[in-house]
């Protein structure tokens, strides 16, 4: 069946048409069309996502990208409409839901609700797949701007949460660190770019909770260490540096080294706990998804660790890790196969 998916949970407006086939044991997906309209340049001025602006942009972008993806001509090619119902920014979620509702009504097609987090979790299915028999149980890390969750998957639909962040999400930590370093929003790609030119051993940042017995994470202490490090580096000039936000009058001389050390500390914490879970539960694969999974150091480290353990590594290409609607079609199809119905209303705190 062909699903048309709508995603507006945060700062990307996205639509996709995906051909979905086969069953829960081995679902198959082929992305026929996918369009993502990013609002990043708009929110950049404010150093983060402004919900009311996000809503306005989604309202403006939805009809534009609907036309771009094929518009009314897709009616005969679509079997059902899927929409993200949560988690996310409430006003942003409603724009997608209202759009999808009216489309489904006009086209007389069923409407399926999907979870944004399940979209991330299942995004690896958008890549050509081996047989799924060989990947479960799996240790799956979902790392985005709002979430950091480690799961143990027994199958696509049977999983339990092993741990999650106690404070900031990994992406949020990157974004906040970038703000401190006077780098633009979103911080993850900017820190990664600077880090490529730096020495990850230059500054000894902490790896919070790494020795705790649980599978939880914590990143706010890491961010505070960065703040102390900057205050210490600038000393008398700190006030001036702070005042000149965005004007770059005073620069951090070892910016690349600081970025590389911060990135390494954050990635080490994520990798350490994921590998610990992989060993304890004797998994057959490690998975990583969500915006932060676009980070090369994280992907390469987890890929290397999977190889060492002689297990599979599951992750979609970067384009399917950051927000998109193809992954929402996947989550919708799995809900359909699993007969799981989500209420078609904005659920800002919907969990996994
Ligand atoms: O999944 P996503 O696109 O949106 C949410 O569901 O939150 O994730 C966005 C987050 C942002 O915090 C962004 O800084 C981070 O993913 N991110 C990265 C990279 N690309 C995006 N973090 C580290 N390295 C990257 N290359
Ligand atoms: Zn996301």
Task: Considering only the C-alpha atoms of the chain, give the largest distance between any 2 of them, rounded to a whole number of Å.
Answer: 67
Query: Does 250 score more than 80 pLDDT?
Result: no
Please give the domain boundaries of the chain with CATH numbers for all domains: 2-123+320-338 (3.30.420.40), 136-315 (3.30.420.40)
CB of 144 sitting under 6 A from ligand 1? yes
Which of 92, 116, 188, 271 has most ligand 1 atoms within 8 Å of CB, for mutation? 188
Q: What is the pLDDT of residue 42?
A: 86
Q: What is the pLDDT of residue 202?
A: 97
pLDDT band at residue 255 under the 50/70/90 scheme: very high
Query: Does 241 score more than 80 pLDDT?
Result: no
Q: What is the pLDDT of residues 54-92, one digit of tens each?
A: 999 999 999 999 999 999 999 999 999 999 999 999 999
Which residues sit opposite 165 in a β-bridge?
217
Burial of 107 (0-12, 13-18, 19+ CB in 10 A): middle
Segment 117-122 shows an average pLDDT of 98
Q: What is the pLDDT of residues 165-182, one digit of tens each?
A: 999 999 999 999 999 998
- DSSP H helices in the chain: 40-44, 51-69, 90-107, 116-121, 170-180, 187-195, 220-234, 238-243, 255-280, 296-309, 318-321, 326-337
pLDDT band at residue 244 under the 50/70/90 scheme: low
Q: What is the pLDDT of residue 245?
A: 61
Query: Does 190 score more than 80 pLDDT?
Result: yes
CB of 7 sitting under 6 A from ligand 1? no
Contact in structure between 16 and 328 (CB atoms under 8 Å): yes
Contact in structure between 142 and 120 (CB atoms under 8 Å): yes
Determine the distance separating the centroid of ligand 2 and the alpha carbon of 138, expressed in angstroms: 21
Could you identify the atom of ligand 1 that is nearest to the CA of residue 171? 12
Determine the distance separating the centroid of ligand 2 and the alpha carbon of 143, expressed in angstroms: 8
Could you identify the atom of ligand 1 that is nearest to the CA of residue 169? 12
pLDDT band at residue 246 under the 50/70/90 scheme: low
In degrees, to the nearest 5, what angle opens at C-alpha 182 toward C-alphas 177 and 185?
70
Query: What average pLDDT does the chain have?
Result: 94
pLDDT band at residue 47 under the 50/70/90 scheme: confident
């Amino acid at each position: 069946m062909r699903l048309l998916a709508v995603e507006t949970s945060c700062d990307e407006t996205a639509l996709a048409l995906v051909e979905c086939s086969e069953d829960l044991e081995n679902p198959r997906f082929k992305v026929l069309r996918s369009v993502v309209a990013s609002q990043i340049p708009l929110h950049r001025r404010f150093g983060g996502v402004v919900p009311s602006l996000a809503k306005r942009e989604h309202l403006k972008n939805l009809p534009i990208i609907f036309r771009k993806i094929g518009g009314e001509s897709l009616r005969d090619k679509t079997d059902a409409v899927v929409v993200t119902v949560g988690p996310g920014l409430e006003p942003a979620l409603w724009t997608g839901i209202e759009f999808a509702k009216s489309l489904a009504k006009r086209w007389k097609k069923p409407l399926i609700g999907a979870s944004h987090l399940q979209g991330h979790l299942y995004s690896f299915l958008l890549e050509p797949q081996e047989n799924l028999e060989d990947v479960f149980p799996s240790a799956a890390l979902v790392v985005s701007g709002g979430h950091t969750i480690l799961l143990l998957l027994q199958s696509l639909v049977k999983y339990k949460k092993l741990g999650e962040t106690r404070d900031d999400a990994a992406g949020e930590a990157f974004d906040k660190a970038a703000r401190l370093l006077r780098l633009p929003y979103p911080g993850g790609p900017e820190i990664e770019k600077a880090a490529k030119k730096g020495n990850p051993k230059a500054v000894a940042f902490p790896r919070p909770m790494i020795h705790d017995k649980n599978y939880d994470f914590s990143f706010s202490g890491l961010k505070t260490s960065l703040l102390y490090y900057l205050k210490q580096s600038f000393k008398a000039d700190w006030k001036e540096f702070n005042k000149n936000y965005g004007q770059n009058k005073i620069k951090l001389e070892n910016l690349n080294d600081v970025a590389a050390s911060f990135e390494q500390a954050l990635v080490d914490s994520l990798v350490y706990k994921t590998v610990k879970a992989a060993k304890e539960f004797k998994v057959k694969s490690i998975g990583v998804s969500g915006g932060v999974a676009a980070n090369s150091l994280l992907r390469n480290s987890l890929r290397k660790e999977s190889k060492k353990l002689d297990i599979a590594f599951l992750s979609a290409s970067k384009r399917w890790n950051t927000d998109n609607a193809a992954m929402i079609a996947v989550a919708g199809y799995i809900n359909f196969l699993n007969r799981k119905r989500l209420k078609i209303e904005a659920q800002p705190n919907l969990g996994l």
